A and B are shown apart, each in its own frame.
Chain A
Amino acid sequence: MRLTVNGIERGIESAPLTPLLYVLREELGITSPKAGCQQGGCGACTVLVDGEARRACLLAVAAVDGAEITTVEGLGAPEALSAIQTAFHEHYAAQCGFCTSGMLIAAHAYLEHGGSGERESIQETLSGHVCRCTGYVKIIDAVAAAAGGEITSRQKWLPQTGEESPVEVPGAPA
């Protein structure tokens, strides 16, 4: 079996009925999809399978042979966050972070499918994702901001020109 994970084609050696979640976490070492309830109830394992948000814990890897898989690592990089990642960061939408990768993937899919950004539609779309610490308020704020175009992707973390130069250390060995 083969999977294209975050743009890189990978051969898969796990048994065909292994859940995609374990293939990602254990065979490929990509641990951003979380093993939460592992019964399809909490949403923490959500990944994009050919652009659709799916529960990786309930998908046998053989059923998605040849598919393109995207995890949060594929949405953006620390130095170039995607719009939804930027929005989560700006709105403090993560606390412990366990639900965050699943939330990000589902919210990204919602935006890609032209989600309106109205609170009711966000609540309906993300209702299968359980968060125990944020109270959802700031997550909904973040998705609404990204859907409304208030927040776009950014490259804020790259060193800015004009920032202070490294400290010179007199007398230090070169």
Chain B
Amino acid sequence: MAIHKGRGISAIEYPTGMNQNGDPSQAWIKMKPDGRVDVFSGTADIGNGSKTIQSQIVADTLGVPYDWVTYDNSNTDSSPVCTGTFASRATFVAGMAVKKAAENARTKLLEIAGKELEIDPADLEVADGEVVAKGAPQKKISVADVAVAATWTHGELITGTGAHLNPYAPIVDSETGRVELPPHAAISYAACAAEVEVDDETGNVRVTRLVQCFDVGTAINPTLVEGQIEGGAVQGLGLGVLENCYPYYPSVEHRGGQFGSYLAPGMEDLPQVDTIIIENPSAGGPYGAKGIGEMANNPQPPAIAAAVYDAIGVWVTELPITPERVLRALEAKAEPRREGKVVIFDEELSVNSVSNGGMRFEVPA
């Protein structure tokens, strides 16, 4: 009857940008006559921050201040096709679509600016809302004035479309037997260290600390990345020790009948969470970004399982690591119980005793 402390680590990789040819995103950008920018993209922001991040990508690519950008994903009729917010693709795939759209809009913007300044568009660049001649910063025009000129002088609309679809990559080429293209456009990596306290009397596992290190490529918005990782910590904690729809699956007996019988982590379950972001840019993502969404809750459960092993010396091989499973694992680890003359069959002991001279325990009838 004691509290045992343990530490465990895990390491994972996670693919983003599915190359299975079924995952397109499209975007459309138009500039209003005052230089403000409307972005139409199909990714729903479900709290992952994709609206913010895609607006950042557009602002940076187009060279306008962030608060000039309005991101509109409210209408599936007016927004172009996007397969959605899933598979850690909103920044990676849809982000590429808005980046390409912004590049095309920038080309149009510089074309009009070139007419206004009478300079070759190739010699112009745009940043912070101003189009400036390369090497001659005194020759400049504000993006707003370019938009005005496009509308009222040149009769043009500064607009751009973009789409992203990873090339189809069969897992293995049936003729050559080789993989011609990587099946995923980017791989994110993560490691997690967990500290736990296991009560060997009640079987309760308390996670006291999670140190999480995620390689997310370029962190376009580090605070939002941190939010994803912190959220993943608590989801992973739930998967690791609490959340269970069917405790005796495939039997559906004893499943929860109401909200309170499904244990989601609450604020008091929160361990110390340390988050480390590693920026290892990807080749295929917008500004080197990778996906972070789904992988955020992957490394915690194995790290917790390893920490439980470190604490009590038994592997619990099913998730979540509930008190019942801890106690059963501890019981299985103990010597076979001898009750009177009946010996409880133990497969491992049986095999050992066979190899040690043929002595064998009998299975009670």
Contacts and interface: CB of A to CB of B under 8 A. Distances in A.
A133 B47 contact: yes
B264 interface: yes
B231 A133 contact: yes
A32 B229 CA distance: 27
B231 A134 contact: yes
27 contacts: A37-B259, A39-B258, A92-B223, A94-B47, A97-B47, A122-B267, A123-B270, A127-B266, A127-B267, A129-B266, A130-B264, A130-B266, A132-B231, A132-B235, A135-B231, A135-B233, A135-B234, A135-B235, A135-B273, A136-B234, A136-B270, A137-B230, A140-B270, A166-B34, A167-B144, A171-B152, A171-B153
A114 interface: no
A135 B230 contact: yes
Contacts of B227: 92, 95, 133-135, 138
Interface in A112-150: 122-124, 126-140
B230 A96 contact: no
B249 to A, nearest CB: 22
Contacts of B33: 167, 169, 172
B217 interface: no
A94 B234 CA distance: 15
Looking at chain A's contact residues, the main secondary structure is loop
Given A135-B230, A135-B233, A138-B227, A95 B48 contact: yes
B234 A39 contact: no
Contacts of B47: 94-97, 133
A133 B268 CA distance: 15
A137 B271 CA distance: 10
A129 B224 CA distance: 22
Interface string B14-40: 000000000000000000011100000
B230 A138 contact: yes
Nearest to B236: A135
Nearest to B46: A96
A126 B267 contact: yes
* Interface pairs A-B: 10 shortest CB-CB: A96-B47, A95-B47, A135-B230, A37-B259, A135-B234, A135-B231, A137-B230, A167-B34, A41-B259, A127-B268
Nearest to B152: A171
A135 B232 contact: yes
A29 interface: no
A40 B229 CA distance: 28
B358 interface: no
Given A92-B227, A129-B267, A172-B152, 18 more contacts: A41-B260, A95-B47, A96-B46, A123-B270, A127-B266, A127-B268, A132-B231, A133-B47, A134-B227, A134-B231, A135-B231, A135-B232, A136-B234, A137-B233, A138-B230, A169-B34, A171-B152, A172-B33
